[in-house]
Each structure stands twice: as C-alpha cells, then as structure tokens.
Chains A and B, each alone.
Chain A
Amino acid sequence: MKSYLSLVPISAHVHKRRNIMTLICIVLAVFLVTAVFSMADMAIRMERIRAIDQHGSWHIMLKNVSDKDAQLIALRPDTDVVSIYDSLNSNIKKDWYIGKKKAALCTMDREWTEDIFHCLTAGSFPVESNEALLTENAKDILDVDIGGSFKMDTPQGSFTYTVTGFIKESSALRYDAVVVCVTRSEFERLCGILGSEDSDPVYYVRFKEGINIRRAIENIKREYGYTDENISENTALMGLTGFSTSSYMIGLYGIAFMLFLLVLTAGIFMIAGSMNSDVARRIEFFGMLRCIGAEKKQIMRIVRLEALNRCKTAVPFGVLLGTLVSWLLCAVMKFGIGGELEDIPIFQISYVGIIFGMIVGIVTVLLASVFPAKRAAGVSPITAVTGNTRAHSIGKSLLGIETALGINNALSSKKNIFLMTGSFALSIILFLSFSVLVDWTHRALNPLLPSAPDVSVMSSDRKNTVDRELIYEIGGKPGVKLVYGRMFRGNMAIVPYKDIKEVDIISYDSCQFNWAEGYMLEGDISKALQGNYMLSVYDRTNPLKTGDKFQIGNTQIEVAGILSADIPFEVTEGIPLMICSEQLFTNLTGEKDYAVIDVQIDKNISHEDLLAIRSAAGSDRLFSDRRETNKEITDTYITFSILVYSFVGIIAMIALFNIMNSISMSVNAAKKKYGIMRAVGMSRVQIIKMIAAEAVTYAFFGCITGCVLGSMLNKYMFDKIIGAYFGDAWKMPVQHIAVSIAFILLCFLLAVYFPSRHICEASVVDVIYEE
C-alpha cells in the first residue's frame, strides 16, 4: 500500500457486491452509447454505399470553371479524382435520333464511369473516336450489343459508332432518351459540327479519405476565387460523412447532438444517483476518514477514483455488449427484414461506436461523481463520532407518521432530491423529445404517400399539353392500378392582395382531393371540390389564410383552407401555391389537358407491360420511372424509423432501469433505518407506505419538472424541424405526456415492489446488519 488511494482497489475487491449497481449503470450507459453509435455507424455505412451507388462517389461539382483550373485542382494533394462531364442536347429538344428514340450526347473521363459513378455495367470505356458507350435502355430500344454499331441522326448529318459497353442510368444520365457517351476528342469534334451552345462542362471532384472536406472546399474557393455558384455539393454523400452545409442537415445534426446530450445526461443522472446512494450508505466511513485527517480534496479523490475504478470493468464490458447487440440488430435487419436493408453490413467493428462508448463511459462517470464526491467530502467528521447524520424534523401528515417519514426521507437532502427528480424528469424529457423525431420521420420521410406515383408522363415543355384522354388509355393497360393528372399554371397574375401579385396553380381531381384531406391544416376541403374556392399550400412566406378573398381576372377566389407542406410539390418563395378543382382551373385558364399524368402500377408489373405504358406516353413526352427513387426514400424511411424507434425503446429501458435503480438504491441506503423501524413495531404495510411515499415524492416532482421542460423542448424541436418546414402548429403533446406518465407510474410500482418485499420478508436482524 503506497498511497491512501490504494484503499480504492482494495475496497473494490472486497466489496464486489456493493459496487454492482453502479457497475450495471456504467455498463448500461456505455452499452447504450456503443450500441446506438455502432448502429448509426452501420446505417450510415449502408446509406453511404447506397448514396455512392445512386448519386456517385464525388464530393463537389465545379461549374463554370476552366479546364486549366480543373487540371490544377486534380494535382492538389487533398484531391483524389477530378473528372469532366459534358453533354449536348440534354433537354432533348433537338431532333437527334437513334432509330426512333431521341438521343443526347455526353462525354466524360474513364474515372467518371469507373471510380465516381461505377456505372459501366458491361464492356469497356471507348478509346477511339468511332467508339461509344450507350445507356442500358438502348439494349431494349435499339436491340444493339457490344461490338455492334449504331447511327445517330442529326439535322447536321449522321454519325456511326461501335458500341464498346453499356452504362446504367445514374442520376446524371436520367433522360427519357438514349444517351451516347463518346471520347472527349470526339465530343469536341461534334461540338464543332452540331453546335456547342448547350455545352456546359462540369467537373466532379472527390477528395481523399480523411481530408477535412469543408476546409478543402474553402481553400479551393479562396485560391481560385470561386463562389457558391461555382460549387455544388453531393449533399447525400457529404451529409453522411458529416460535411454537409445544407441548413437542414446541420439542423438534423444539431438535433442529433442535442439528443445525444440528453442520453448522456440521463447516464450521468443514473450513475450519479447510484453513487450518491452508495455515499449515503457510507457517511460514517467518510466521517471517520475526516476524523483521522483526510482533507475534503482527498475524500473527493477517493470517490472519483472509486468511480473510475469501476470503469475498468464496466467500460470494456459495455463496449463488448454494445458491439454484440449492434451485430445482432444488424443481422436481424439484414436477414429478418431484408429487402431494403440487405445492404447493411454485419460483424463489422464500429470504431466510432467503441470510441464514443468509452469516452461517454469515462466522461459520464467523472461528471456523475462530482455530486457524490462533494457530498462525501462535505460529511462532518463528527458524524463518525456520534453516528448521527443530520436530519430534518418531519412535518405533519394526514396520511400518518410513516407517510411523513417517507416524504421527509425524500426531501432531507437537496442534492438527493435534485438527482432523483432529475432522473424521473429526464426520462420524460427524453421521451417527449424523441417523440418529435417519430413525428418528423412520418412527415419528412414518407415516400409512400397514397399519391406517390410509380411512373409519370410529363409534357416536355412543362405546359398543359398532355392529352387528358391519355389517362383513359393508360388506365386500360395491364398492370396499371391508378392514373391521375394535374394541370399546372405558374406565375398566374392576380389582383394584388397582401403583397401577392401572382400565384402558382395546380388542379386536383377528386382522387387527389381525397388524399389531400389528411393534410389539411385548417379549413374545409369540400368547398374546394367545386365553386371558386382554392386550397393554399403552407409556406412561411405565404400570407394567405382561410377565408381570404382575392381576384384572378374577374373571378373572385376564396381560400377554403390551408394544406400542409407535406404534399410533394415545391413551393417558390413569395409565390403562393394554390390547389383548385379541374373545373375552376379550366374556367381560369381555358386549358383542359394535363401537365403531368401520374401512374401507380403493380409491384410485379412485367417489363413488356411497362414498355406498353411507355410507348402509350409517346416519344415527344417525358417518361419518368420513379420506382428507384421511391425505393431509395423507402429505404431511408425504414432505416431511420428503426433507429428512432430503437432510440425510443432504449429510452424506455433507461427510464425503467433508472427509476427502479434509483428507488432501490435509495431504499438500500436507508435499509438499516427501515430495519430498526420494523424492530420498533412498524408494520409491513407501514413500511411499504413509507417507501412509496418517498418514491411518490420523487415521481411527483420528477413528473412536473419532466412535463414542463419536456414540453418546452418538444415545442422547440417541433418548431425547428416540423413547424418550420411543414407548417403544422405545435400542440401540447398530451398523448405523449400521458403515455410517459403512465410508463413512469408502471416503473414506479415495480421500483417500490421489489425493495419493499425484500425489507418486509427478510428478518429484522438481517435487514439491520446486512452489508
């Protein structure tokens, strides 16, 4: 024994059982953080794989920059790949054809297909000027294969190429046309022949691993004098690597960080409560140490070291448990749920999870030990001599002396009531905060709105030129479930009203109005089905309210209600988006045909049936297959939902354990006293009443504090991530409050039952002298 601190490991070795509750608390905190961060890490890895697959493995795209600049940027030590992409006729307005299908032309570097978009599905990158790649859809449409040749007809002449391979239609190649990819020299030659007015070269840049991408972007901007106009970010990938500047992503990170802090605080309260009870039980011991000359600082060091000493076992165990559970959950997601989640990696070590788990374990323990250490250091040495701790005189209670004693026990120490109240309150605060995320998940990530189309047929000029009869034609095709159309008129002038000069109008048929009913924030949707009524889509800049009247030409329009921004249309800032009936739209514009026809199809529709719909749409219209995008959003929705609900489940677990542990530790700390009370004649019922009174006092203050602070946080988060974007007004989360209080009460009953039973059933002597 070399130092007074050697007492700590010796004591821990002797009193293994005394430490077990604190150990469990630390293990739980470390386990939760490791499991949650490991799961989040795996989900991010899965999303990253998908993001790269769907959006490409690039970080920024440079626009309006010179080729020389691009070459210099490629030489930077922080740059991994820089690749050009350029296209002609990307809006397929020009009459370029391969067979009967419209054609667009593009060029890129080999890295673009192989390193960035991984889109070369067959063959090889073209080398010669008469070689080209084709998008995969050409296989069916043109019936060509590698080695075969095709001819692209343009008004300026025909050009023949040999097919060297096929590329899949990545986001950059999503046209309703065949895309021909040629070498850069051939592209430049064609620009000279076909005209390069719509050439708009961009450079895709990927940075090296481990680089601070944000700083690299700022350096490039500064060195080359670029503005935000010159640089677009791959938000999907940047967001997943933590470098997004999107305000919404930053907002989400902020919320995630806040929730992390809440979980951390819950851990601190849980461990602090447990340690505090342990200190309370050893008041005389600390008093004796003070008697024989231990300074307050030394006592605090002893308590802190005791806590850290527990980390030696608890942290590795928590990390191990967290990793195993995350593996199990990943396996369940991969093999149990499958489908959308089959990309999730399993049996992978998450260093993020492990490091965070360890840091959180140690930091939590250090922070949690502050209160108990101060309490221990504050013990008067006279406590050891007299054996009496300070106590407050009890007040009167109508429910009897035992109730008064229970309440007095709870209120006797300010620190204790703070920790216990905090424990109860935090459970409610956590629950109310996370419930906002559940709401958000439903609103923000719902791809399967009843109205979500699988494919869309749009006019190429964005005007109402899609024949309305096409609805009936497509509706009759096999594999089609539902067809509905919308007319659109942008920037329609109105008689100035509330500073508005123009509105965008979309028509709904009865089917779409039915779907919209669920998204009404206020007003009466039935009015909008007929007559001169419109629905206004919520937007922060939209001043129109229900009942407002404005004029379009000679027609007076009344706002029948407000629709939530959940509906999937983009609103232009300052121009209200209005929804009206087809009849009113036609009356106002004189137009009857649609701008877009949406089609919902059977999940297992055959390729031939889909081609039939495609050919019905005609070659002069844009045909958009949205199934892949829908699937992408569904995947994200499911992943996020699982994460959010896992969090809620974990919080419930923390709350249950925390409350049970807190009450149990509190009862244990006063066990001797309860034993003595039984010895002097207190009945079992009275003992239970006393313990319950103490727990009720904590629960009472905890519920009030939790509901008040939790509701405030709930409102803050709701306004931040839901109100601001979807327009929904915050309402007191009565249901969630009721559920959390009910859950707390359940925990409370369990928490009182077990320690009371132990004290009542064990012999009085055992209770008094039990260590």
Chain B
Amino acid sequence: MKILDVMNLCKTYGNGESSVNALKNVSFTMDKGEFAAVVGESGSGKSTLLNIIGGLDRPTSGKVCLKGQDIFEMSERDRTVFRRRNIGFVFQSFHLIPELNVEQNIIFPILLDHKKPDKEEINEILDTLGLYERRKHLPSQLSGGQQQRTAIGRALVTRPMLILADEPTGNLDSKASRDVIELLIRASRKYTQTVLMITHNINLTSSADRILRVSDGILTDMGGKHDEKLS
C-alpha cells in the first residue's frame, strides 16, 4: 500500500547566477511499513529532501503526497497539524526539551494535539525502547543513545504513518548506533510505520529494505530497479 508519493521534486536556493539546485526532479514512492535509507555525499541534497518530505521546507516545484494528500496544498496551520499526527521526526542532535523528563518528552506531541496520553501505550513504548526505568530522568542524566531512544519514542507516540530520521546515529558511538537502528526498525515493524532515514554510515543500511542514493540533487539509485525492494 503506497503511503508516500514524491513527484518531480525540485528545490533551488538563491536566484540567477548564484542559484543552487539542491534537488532536481526527484520522484519515488514508499509503501506502508517500508524502511528506506537515504545515502549520499555531504551537500548532495539528502537533508533538503527529508525536510521537504516532512513539510519543514517548501519545494520550488513538485509534489509530496502522504496518503494521497498533497501536503503543500494545505494551509500552513493544517500542514502543522497534519505533520503532528502523521510524521515523526528523529534528529541527529536529539532536540529533546531539557526541562522535561523522558516520559514527558515522549508524551509532549500528544499534549500538543490536546489529547490525553494513554498510560498503557506510553509504558509499552518505554518498554520497547528500554527506557521504562529511566522514564523520570532528565535528558541531561541520559547517555546519547538513551537520549536518541527518547527522541524515537517521541516520534512514535502519535503513531505517525511516516518517520523521518536525519542522521539519527550521527552523534552516537557504534554500539549505540546499532541499538538505535535496531530499535527504530523494531518499533516501525511493530507499529507498521514507514521509515525514511538519512545516514552516512553504510553499515547501518544493511537493515534497510531499500537504499536511495542522492548525488548532486538527483536521485540516482532507488534500490535496484525502479521501486524494487532490496529485501
């Protein structure tokens, strides 16, 4: 079942001679529950692609449809609410709220949606992420891996259909990196969520269903044949 449909995405920064084409006619689709890794050189346009898919940035042209809805056809407010409910973000530098403990950080997106968190569901996520014992700890009292797992919990909590992870292991050592990726895969499988992850670490792509390669703003490889899954 097709969840994400990226069509002829272009992004140009600047005007005239100084303009830079960050993305050139990128098109691809992703199915429900699919786990894809995006690889490419620094400055190749990976982050730009992820930001546009997440509705954080606007494309110069092209469309991003999630569950058939073009996110750039929506008003800014509707897009924010849509993002809150359907897209989860995991950042390289965690971006947790330092004043809130693990549990509070995880439930925060639910509170933003004016909903009451389900205690059992939250405990289940904490269990899955191995953070139950640490749920009352502040981010400053956690290791990098634990902080990133908290960020993953925050991304999972609203049960989004798409999780976007921008170098989630960039600030972690190799063991923590493996743990985080495993958790991300396990959680997405458990909740049948689609994951699009940027990474530099080619070792971490082995678990991905598919590898998208971006070079100079062009999607050069979509995992073998067009739309073919690697595994």
Mark A residues whose CB is within 8 Å of B: 1-4, 6-7, 10-11, 13-15, 284-285, 288-296, 298, 380-382, 384-387
Q: Looking at the assembled complex, report how far the CB atom of A554 sits from the nearest CB atom of chain B, in whole angstroms.
A: 89
Known: A382-B51, A382-B57. A293 touches B85 (CB 8 A): yes
Inter-chain contacts of B109 with A (CB < 8 A) = 292-293
B81 is an interface residue with CB less than 8 A from chain A: yes
Residue of A nearest to B77 (CB): A295
Known: A293-B112, A294-B112, A385-B47. 16 other contacts (CB 8 A): A1-B111, A3-B111, A7-B99, A10-B99, A10-B100, A10-B104, A11-B97, A14-B99, A284-B95, A288-B95, A291-B56, A292-B108, A293-B80, A293-B81, A293-B85, A298-B112
Inter-chain contacts of B98 with A (CB < 8 A) = 14
A385 and B56 within 8 A (CB): yes
Q: How far is the CA of A429 from the CA of B122 in the complex (A)?
A: 57
Residue interface mask B77-94, A partner, CB < 8 A = 1: 100110111000101010
Q: How far is the CA of A294 from the CA of B80 in the complex (A)?
A: 7
Known: A288-B95, A291-B56. A4 touches B77 (CB 8 A): no
A292 and B84 within 8 A (CB): yes
Known: A7-B97, A384-B91, A385-B91. A295 touches B81 (CB 8 A): yes
A381 and B84 within 8 A (CB): no
Return 30 A-B CB contacts under 8 Å, by A number. Answer: A1-B100, A1-B107, A1-B111, A2-B111, A3-B114, A6-B111, A7-B97, A10-B104, A11-B97, A13-B99, A14-B98, A14-B99, A284-B95, A285-B97, A288-B91, A290-B80, A291-B83, A291-B89, A291-B95, A292-B89, A292-B112, A292-B154, A293-B83, A293-B85, A294-B80, A294-B112, A296-B76, A298-B112, A382-B51, A386-B47
Q: How far is the CA of A725 from the CA of B99 in the complex (A)?
A: 62
B77 and A296 within 8 A (CB): yes
Among A2, A15, A290, A386, the residue within 8 A (CB) of B99 is A15
Q: Looking at the assembled complex, report how far the CB atom of B50 sits from the nearest CB atom of chain A, in whole angstroms.
A: 8
B81 and A7 within 8 A (CB): no
Inter-chain contacts of B99 with A (CB < 8 A) = 7, 10-11, 13-15
B80 and A295 within 8 A (CB): yes
Inter-chain contacts of B81 with A (CB < 8 A) = 293, 295
B166 is an interface residue with CB less than 8 A from chain A: yes
B113 is an interface residue with CB less than 8 A from chain A: yes
Q: Looking at the assembled complex, report how far the CB atom of A287 sits from the nearest CB atom of chain B, in whole angstroms.
A: 9
Residue of A nearest to B154 (CB): A292
Residue of A nearest to B95 (CB): A288
Q: How far is the CA of A381 from the CA of B71 in the complex (A)?
A: 15
Residue of B nearest to A295 (CB): B80
Q: How far is the CA of A7 from the CA of B107 in the complex (A)?
A: 12
Inter-chain contacts of A289 with B (CB < 8 A) = 112
In chain B, residues 91-132, which have Cβ atoms closer than 8 Å to a Cβ of chain A? Answer: 91, 93, 95, 97-100, 104, 107-109, 111-114
Residue of B nearest to A288 (CB): B95
A384 and B77 within 8 A (CB): no
SS class, residues of chain A in contact with chain B: helix
Q: How far is the CA of A285 from the CA of B97 in the complex (A)?
A: 8
Q: Looking at the assembled complex, report how far the CB atom of B48 sits from the nearest CB atom of chain A, in whole angstroms.
A: 10
Inter-chain contacts of B158 with A (CB < 8 A) = 293
Known: A10-B100, A293-B85. A385 touches B166 (CB 8 A): yes
Q: How far is the CA of A294 from the CA of B158 in the complex (A)?
A: 13
- By size class, the interface of chain B is 20 to 34
Q: How far is the CA of A292 from the CA of B160 in the complex (A)?
A: 11
Residue of B nearest to A11 (CB): B99
Q: How far is the CA of A483 from the CA of B74 in the complex (A)?
A: 90
Q: Looking at the assembled complex, report how far the CB atom of B64 sits from the nearest CB atom of chain A, in whole angstroms.
A: 15
Inter-chain contacts of A296 with B (CB < 8 A) = 76-77, 80
Residue of B nearest to A290 (CB): B80
Inter-chain contacts of B77 with A (CB < 8 A) = 295-296
B111 and A293 within 8 A (CB): no
Q: Looking at the assembled complex, report how far the CB atom of B77 sits from the nearest CB atom of chain A, in whole angstroms.
A: 6
Inter-chain contacts of A291 with B (CB < 8 A) = 54, 56, 83, 89, 91, 95
Most central of A295, A381, A385, A386 by chain B CB within 10 Å:
A385
Q: Looking at the assembled complex, report how far the CB atom of A17 sits from the nearest CB atom of chain B, in whole angstroms.
A: 13
Inter-chain contacts of A7 with B (CB < 8 A) = 97, 99-100, 108
Q: How far is the CA of A381 from the CA of B84 in the complex (A)?
A: 12
Give the 6 A-B CB pairs with smallest separation, nearest first.
A293-B84, A4-B111, A288-B95, A11-B99, A14-B99, A381-B56
Q: How far is the CA of A205 from the CA of B111 in the complex (A)?
A: 63
Q: Looking at the assembled complex, report how far the CB atom of B93 sits from the nearest CB atom of chain A, in whole angstroms.
A: 8
Inter-chain contacts of A15 with B (CB < 8 A) = 99
Inter-chain contacts of B91 with A (CB < 8 A) = 288, 291, 384-385
Known: A293-B113, A296-B77. A384 touches B95 (CB 8 A): yes
Residue interface mask B138-179, A partner, CB < 8 A = 1: 000000000000000010001000000010000000000000
Inter-chain contacts of B166 with A (CB < 8 A) = 385
Q: Looking at the assembled complex, report how far the CB atom of A80 sits from the nearest CB atom of chain B, in whole angstroms.
A: 56
Q: Looking at the assembled complex, report how far the CB atom of B202 sits from the nearest CB atom of chain A, in whole angstroms.
A: 23
Inter-chain contacts of B85 with A (CB < 8 A) = 293
Inter-chain contacts of A384 with B (CB < 8 A) = 91, 95
Inter-chain contacts of B83 with A (CB < 8 A) = 291, 293
Residue of B nearest to A285 (CB): B97
Q: Looking at the assembled complex, report how far the CB atom of A289 sits from the nearest CB atom of chain B, in whole angstroms.
A: 8
Inter-chain contacts of A387 with B (CB < 8 A) = 93
Residue interface mask B42-72, A partner, CB < 8 A = 1: 0000010001001011000000000000000
Q: Looking at the assembled complex, report how far the CB atom of B159 sits from the nearest CB atom of chain A, in whole angstroms.
A: 13
Inter-chain contacts of B97 with A (CB < 8 A) = 7, 11, 285, 288
Among A2, A4, A285, A295, the residue within 8 A (CB) of B108 is A4
